[in-house]
Structure 1
C-alpha cells in the first residue's frame, strides 16, 4: 500500500513538473522558437558544404588597413539580427540618447540575401610578441554555401560595398582623433582612436576675418580639385605650416580645420616613432580624407636625441608626400612650430609646405574678437585704453587674455581692467616684450628666402612702430615726458635703433597680407 502511494505521488509530482515545463515553454515560446530554429539551422548547415572567405583588418604585411573590413563591420553592426547574437556590446552614440550595438569578439551573426542564408564571424586571435606583449589579429569570416556562392557572392559583396555601407558610414560617421602607439606593437597597426569632440570652429577663433575667409576658400578649393591635381601629375594633398609663440591658437586651428572638412585627425608623436621606416609605416596606415599633424617640429629638429632614430631625411621624405599616394589621397598635412628661424630652408620649400600661416601674439584686433567671443561685447569705454597699451608694444598670448576673460566673464568691466593691469605689468617688466621680439618673424618668416604662400593677420607684424613703443614705455615708467623733451628723446631712440639694426623704414601699413613666391 505504501509502495502504491509512492508511485502515485511520483506520477503526481512528475505531472506537475511536466505541466509547469509546458506552461513555461508556452509562456516563453520565443525562446522555444529560437532554440528550435537554432537546431534546424545547425542540422541544415551540416547537410551542406560551405566555403569561408576572410576579410582581414590589415593586408598581409600589416602596412595598410583594409578599407573593406571597416565597411563590412559597419554593415554587420547595422543588421537587426545582431540582437540575436549571444554577446553584443552596447555603446552610447554621438547623441546622448543613442545606443549603438557592436558585435563582440568571436561572435556570429546571420544575414540573408536573395533567399540565401550567410553567416559572419568576428574572429579575434591573440598573438604573443614577447613575454609581456601581445596583439590582436581581427578578421571577419564570411561563411556561405557552395551551391549559393556563384549566384550571390559578388552581388552580395557589391551590395555591402556600394548600396548599404556608404550610406551607413555617412550617417554614422564621427570625426576621430588617432594617436600612434609605441613602436613595439607593429603587427596590429599603430593607431588608437577616440572620438574627436574639440569644440573649436573658425567662428570661435580670434583671427582676422579676411584671413579666415582666405583659409576657408583655400580648403574649399582643395576639396574640389581632384581632377586638377591629377591632371598636373601631383598628389592630391595640401600642406600647412602653423608657426608662432605658444598659446596663439595653432592647436585650435587644427581642430577647426578638421571640423570644417569633417576629416579624421592623425596626430603623430615623434617620441614614439622608432626610425624612418616606422614613420613611413604610420603614414601608410592613415586613411584618405584625413588631417595628419606633427606638432612642435622645430623642437624635434633642434633636439634629435629625444626622438630615437628618426632622421632629417626621414622627415623630409614624410613631408614630400610620395608615400601618401600609396594610401589614397585627399590629405591635409599640418606642421606646427614656435619659430622657424633655425629650420633648414629645404624643409620649408614649396611642395613640402604649401601655405605658411603666422600666429602672432594678441594685438588689439584679436583682443576685440576675444572680447566679443568671451564677454559678448563689441565696444566698451575701456577699449581706447586697451588699444593705447597695445600700441606701446605690450602684449600677451590670446590664451592668456582668454583665461582672464573666462575668470571675469560675469563682469566685462572687471575683465577689461584685469587685462589692462596684466598688459601694464608685462610692459613695465619688459619680459613679455623680449619674448614678443624673439617670436617676431625674421626675414625668412617674412617670405624673403623660402617659397610658398605666406598668410598673416593684418597688423600682426609691425614694421615702423618701434619708436612709438619705446616712447610708450617711457610714458608708463615716468609719466613725465612732455613738450620739447619728447622730440629729443624720440630722436635719440630712433638714432640708436638705426645704428643697431639699420632696418627701420616705411610706415606700418606696409605689412604684407600675402606673399607669393
Structure 2
C-alpha cells in the first residue's frame, strides 16, 4: 500500500468516526432516553444472535434459582464439579469452605473460572458467572477480583444472580441434554449420599427432631459371625438396587428385620452399622411417646425415604399382649390390641398397617427394624413373612467375635498365645460382646487386657457354678454360638 492510499484510508476512518460522534450527539439530543435504550438493546441483541448463528459452540445456562425455588440442577452441577480432580487443579482461582467439622474442606472453582469435563467422548466446559442487575445492568462481572466491588460474593439474597454456563459443540446438543445432564444429576446424588451427615430422628413434642448420628459402628468393627455379617450386607445391597423389581411386582419398597437375642449382643450396633453402610437416616420410634394411631401415622408418613425405622425392645416398651391370651387384654395408657383401630390409643393393627398395610406405600426405600430380647413374647402377627422379612439371632460372644473385638481395641493378632485359654473359658461361660468390650477397655496394653479378661471369665465361671439355676446352662451354650439368620422373604 502506497503512502497516499494509507492517508486516504485514515481520512475515511476519521470521517466515519466523526460522523458516528455527530450521530450519537443528535440521538442524545433529539431522541427520548427510552427510545435510545431500546435501540441500544436491539442492536446488542442483533449482534448476540448473529454471533450465536456463526459460532459452532452451543451454551446451556443453568440459573441458581427458578423464581423463588432453588434450581436442583444448579446444586447438582456444583456438587459434581467439586468432585472433579481436574476442575480444582486447573483453575487459577479457587473457593474453599467448610460448614461442618465432620467433613473435609470443600474446594470449588471461583466465579468466572472454567472447568473442563469429558463424557462419552464429548468435551464440556463449565463456567460459573454472576450478574448484578443493579450495579452492572445485566452485565457479567464474574472473576473481577476479590475487592469490595465483587458483589457476586453476596449470594442470591444480595441481588446477585449466579448461574453455570455449560458450553459444547452444537452438534452434541441432543447428547448433552439427554445424556450428560442426567448423568451429572445422578453423580451429584451419589456424591451427596456418600458425604452427607447422617441424622437420628427422635420424637419430641409429638414431632421428629433430628440430631447428628455419629455412631462409629461399621460392619468391619461389628463383633458378629462372619458368614452372618456377609449375608446381612448382601441382603441390604440387593434391597437398595431392586427398585424396579418392587415396582414390577406391586410391592412396597421396604424391608423388615427382627433382631433378637440376649442384652449386650450387638443389636443396636448392628442397626448403626446398617445406617452407616447404606447412608440411611435413623428414626427412633419410642412407642411410649405416641398417643394414638393418628399420631403414629403422622409420624411415620413424615419420615424421609432412604431411612431406617427402629423400634427397640418392642416387647417391653409398651404393653404387648399375645392376641390369644386368656382373660382379656391389658388396657394401659399405651397398649396394643388386635382389633380395629381406636384413635384414643396405639394399637397393634395401627402399627401393622404401616409395616405392610396401605400406609406402607407412603414412602420408598425404607427399612424397618424391631429389636427384642425375648422373641417368644411377641405377637405372631408381627413376625409373619412380609412384615419381618429376616429374623436375625444375635447370640453370645464366639471366638470369632472375640478376635474382632481384640483387633478393634488392641490390634491383637489372631494367633496370640492367650487365645486358647480364653476360647476354652468362653466354651464354659456365656459372655456377651458388650461384656468383653468393657473388660478390654480397662487397660491400654494388650497383654494386661487379655489377662484381665481371663480373670473375669474365671470369676464368672465360679458364679455360674454356684448358681442354682445351672439347669439353664445348656440352653445358654446354644445361644452363645448360634448367631443365625432366618430369611422369610425375597428382598
TM range (shorter): 0.5 to 0.7
Shift of 1:210: 1.0
- 1:200–1:255 Cα contact (<8 Å) kept: yes
Gapped regions of structure 1 (runs ≥ 5): 1-51, 56-68, 79-88, 101-109, 123-141, 143-157, 443-458, 463-507
Shift of 1:242: 0.8
Match of 2:362 among 326, 329, 332: 326
Q: 1:84-117, CA deviations, whole angstroms, 9 ceiling, x for partnerless residues?
A: xxxxx983354244599xxxxxxxxx9799x899
| Residue number in structure 1 paired with 2:33 | none
Match of 1:370 among 381, 397, 405: 405
| Residue number in structure 2 paired with 1:200 | 217
Q: Does the residue aligned with 2:250 lie in a helix, a strand or coil? A: coil
Q: 1:339-370, CA deviations, whole angstroms, 9 ceiling, x for partnerless residues?
A: 11211111111111000111112233322232
1:453-464 mapped onto 2 (5 Å cutoff): 461=479
Match of 1:359 among 383, 394, 409: 394
| Residue number in structure 1 paired with 2:378 | 343
Shift of 1:301: 4.1
RMSD over aligned Cα atoms? 4.7
Shift of 1:516: 5.5
Provide the aligned length of Structure 1 versus Structure 2: 336
Match of 2:461 among 423, 427, 430: 427
TM (norm. structure 2) is 0.57
1:400 aligns with 2:407: no
- 2:394–2:483 Cα contact (<8 Å) kept: no
1:255-404 mapped onto 2 (5 Å cutoff): 255-302=272-319, 305=333, 309-320=345-356, 322-327=358-363, 329-375=364-410, 376-392=412-428, 394-404=429-439
1:28-43 mapped onto 2 (5 Å cutoff): none
Gapped regions of structure 2 (runs ≥ 5): 1-65, 80-96, 109-129, 141-153, 162-177, 321-331, 336-343
Shift of 1:175: 3.9
Say if 1:515 and 1:90 are closer, same or farther in 2 by CA, change over 3 A. closer
2:275 & 2:483 partners in 1: Cα distance? 27
Q: 1:366-398, CA deviations, whole angstroms, 9 ceiling, x for partnerless residues?
A: 222322332222122222222222222x12221
Shift of 1:71: 4.6
TM (norm. structure 1) is 0.54
1:177-256 mapped onto 2 (5 Å cutoff): 177-184=199-206, 190-194=208-212, 196-256=213-273
1:436 & 1:233 partners in 2: Cα distance? 51
Say if 1:233 and 1:260 are closer, same or farther in 2 by CA, change over 3 A. same
1:66-81 mapped onto 2 (5 Å cutoff): 71=72
| Residue number in structure 1 paired with 2:191 | 171
Shift of 1:239: 0.6
